């Protein structure tokens, strides 16, 4: 939830400012088509924030996948060692008879 919570302050700025009061944005910038022109910096900030969060999520997913693969290989190596020990013990029991 940290990722979603990080976007909340940006959304609050966006919605509490220009998007929440389009009349004021139009009056302050008569050539604009509404809140669109005065909201561009906030929208750009939101886009940057969301892009950064998405990149972070992708990085975390790749790291988790690498870690999973490493653990899978270690588990297979340990199983191979265990099989070797069991086979050696079985040979020793067979030879002792």
Q: What pLDDT, in 10s, does the model give residues 59-69?
A: 999 999 999 99
**Residue 68: strand, helix, or coil:** helix
Q: Which region, left, alpha or beta, applies to residue 34 given φ > 0 means left and ψ of -120 to 50 means alpha?
A: left
Q: Which residue has the higher pLDDT, 95 or 20?
A: 95
**Domain range annotation of the chain:** 2-96
Mean pLDDT of 17-36: 56
Single pTM value for the model: 0.55
Alpha-carbon span 17 to 42, nearest angstrom: 9
């Amino acid at each position: 939830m940290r990722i979603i919570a990080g976007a909340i302050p940006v959304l609050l700025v966006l919605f509490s400012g220009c998007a929440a009061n389009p009349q004021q944005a139009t009056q302050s910038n008569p050539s604009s088509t509404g809140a669109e022109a005065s909201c561009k910096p906030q929208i750009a900030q939101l886009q940057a924030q969301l892009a950064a969060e998405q990149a972070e999520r992708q990085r975390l997913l790749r790291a988790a996948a690498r870690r999973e693969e490493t653990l899978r290989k270690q588990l297979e190596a340990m199983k191979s060692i265990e099989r070797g020990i069991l086979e050696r013990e079985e040979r020793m029991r067979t030879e002792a008879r």
